[in-house]
Amino acid sequence: MSEATMTTTCEIARLGLRGDGVTPEGVVVPGALPGETVRVAPEEGTRPPRARLDAVLAPSPDRIAPFCPYFGTCGGCAIQHLAPAPYAAWKRDLVVGALARVGIEAPVGPLLDAHGTGRRRITLHVRASDGGPQAGFMAARSHALVPIDHCPITEAALHRAPEIARRVSRPLGGGGGKPLDVQVTATAGGLDVDIRGHGPASDRARQALVLIAGELDLARLSLHGEVLIVRRPPEIPAGRSRLVPPSGGFLQATQEGEATLARLVVEGVGKAKRVVDLFSGAGAFSLALAEAHTVHAVEGEDGALKALDRAFRETGGLRTVTTERRDLFRRPLLAPELDRYDAVVFDPPRAGAEAQSARIAESKVPVVVGVSCDAGSFARDAALLVHGGYRLETVTPVDQFRHSPHVEIVGVFKRPGKKR
């Protein structure tokens, strides 16, 4: 088949929600930018229709050289090839567009850069190969492994994470019988490693892992969340507190991101005396709020609440922090329970907090601060609050997932006429 029948030339009209170029006809072209003329090879049977970028015939003036040697092969970063100013505008527009689709007009601030020193956590996939275990990321839209030497968007302490993943996989079969996921987190006490995917391990394998933890100078090593050894507490700074999250527990992507979100949350609740922190996790927001507010933290994971309680008790000078274990998806706080508080903070997983938002909308709480890592679910939950009488006063997009289509959002809602 000749090149003329295999490829076609087209113009790129816009960036899609995932950072891919999109033609006027709606064909998705990964790696292309708006305004470019490109040669592409259509992919058969894809929905929406997709095409592989074959060549950029007329590049955009906003195109820059990607800094990572794995970009375009690894499925991690989506958009390293766009200059900073249009990149920031695109990310902000993801939030503006999501709100517009549910009929909300609200003041959306400029994108705040919260990448800081880089991602503090990385999850590597380990697979067996003829030359031994390989560690890396999955290719885009594929289960094929892309082995890496290091990930340049992470903190420097995580640059040896692939080597660590390969080493800890060996006593467990090197990713052969069962592919492994190895999560490595940079903490103040050193690297915290949690291995997933293997299932129960023999005593011999567990003993070998403990020895490897010493050889690699790991702070903590866990298998499916079960701690095998703690050589140093894997502490995470949280305001004035030092938090030790449970193995594999939720953590904001960057230290700068967590600090930025916590600051926006504290500013959002204002002078509220009593605050309820829903989906609190291990309490990064609760601990920041407790500097000046009484806080009740509600979370479904017992390990996270225990970590929060421990950090609170070990930090002097904070206001009272109480905790409650509760599945907020199945049993959201009801309006009479919420009405005890002067402000609500909620930071759910990516799927959002539809059931809890509906109950908040029925409450009389004067101030609500919503945090989300997904523009679509944030907009859906915001629409419930607005329909219930709240006004979305400020929206701040925060970029701690640099080079990805994910954006963190902090929205402040107020009920007109309600003051406490």
Enzyme catalytic residues: 373
CA triple 71-14-52, angle to 5 deg: 45
Residues 6 or more apart in contact with residue 253 via CB below 8 angstroms: 119, 120, 121, 400, 401
The per-residue DSSP string of 167-220 comes to HHHGGGTTTSSS-EEEEEEEETTEEEEEEESS-S--HHHHHHHHHHHHHTT-SE
SS3 of residue 392 by DSSP? strand
SS3 of residue 339 by DSSP? coil
Centre a 10 Å sphere on the Cβ of residue 322 and count the other Cβ atoms it contains.
13
Nearest Cα residue to 99 out of 381, 413, 405: 381
By the 8 A CB rule, do 409 and 397 touch?
Answer: yes
Nearest Cα residue to 359 out of 328, 380, 402: 328
In degrees and rounded to multiples of 5, residue 85 shows phi and psi of -65, -50
